[in-house]
Amino acid sequence: MPDRKCDDNANFGFAELVSALQQQCDAGIDVALDDIASAGPPEAIVEMSASPPDSTRPVPAPSLAVPVSASAAPASHVAPAPVQQAESLSACDTLDSLKHALETFDGCALKKTASNLVFADGNPDAELMIIGEAPGGDEDRMGLPFVGAAGQLLDKMLLSVGLRRTEVYITNILPWRPPGNRTPSTEEMQMLKPFLMRHIELKQPKLILALGGSSAKLLLDSTTGIMKLRGQIKTISTPNGQAFTVLPSLHPAYLLRAPAMKKLSYQDLLQLKSLLSADR
């Protein structure tokens, strides 16, 4: 007769393995690490792992193996966005008026569970616009994007190519923290996408750095994983017909969990620096 205890341990190990594989899928990782070519970044990037991982932040990017909404609240919990709200966005002619539109928007249930609206931070006149996924616990408390451990890593990443936080403009695809830091649902992202597109139109960036799978996929209207999208220069069109350049890259929260991937991130940062320097 088989040992019951051994069977239980085997089942527990298998469950852990499945969970780990699912986490990789959620991060948009669809290639083996050994398949990724390495490029030696400076110590400034390699040593970024000194900051402890932000356990309050989930691995960014929606799942490739299951629908994004599978780990989120049921779609019925998300109120549909009133059509008139979306249409009124064209009347927002400043960043402040867009922020006010979000403050008065009641179509998304995330607003009810969040502590603060997280609109943006940095320099509104900056050429670079950084778009992440959603606020975490620290961001929700402070009302600013990228202020936790992932934000500290982002600051170091920018400094590695000569950029300070005050020289860029930072926001997220969602302005409210999902409960429990869960992955945003497809319904939530699509509901708030018109606000994001208007944000881009008003900001008028020279370049958009899309951090993480959720951000890159939403902006590019793609289902491709972030490991295949990263480093590729793309062009998007907003509702008013304007074209903007997008460079997808890995989210700092993921880099805290997978320090080896900072090599790829640094390659993207060098490309970013080159794009910003062009035509100057």
Q: How far is it, in rounded angstroms, from Cα 209 to Cα 217?
A: 12
Confidence (pLDDT) at 49:
44
CATH topology for the 48-277 domain: Uracil-DNA Glycosylase, subunit E (3.40.470)
* pLDDT tier, 41 (very low <50, low <70, confident <90, very high otherwise): low
Contacts of 103 (CB under 8 A, 6+ apart): 117
Please name the residue that has the structure tokens 């490309």: 271
Contact 187, 75 (CB under 8 A): yes
Per-residue pLDDT tens digits for 191-243: 999 999 999 999 999 999 999 999 999 999 999 999 999 999 999 999 999 99
Per-residue pLDDT tens digits for 98-147: 999 999 999 999 999 999 999 999 999 999 999 999 999 999 999 999 99
Confidence (pLDDT) at 229:
98
Per-residue pLDDT tens digits for 139-195: 999 999 999 999 999 999 999 999 999 999 999 999 999 999 998 999 999 999 999
Q: How do 128-132 and 121-122 pair as beta strands? A: unpaired
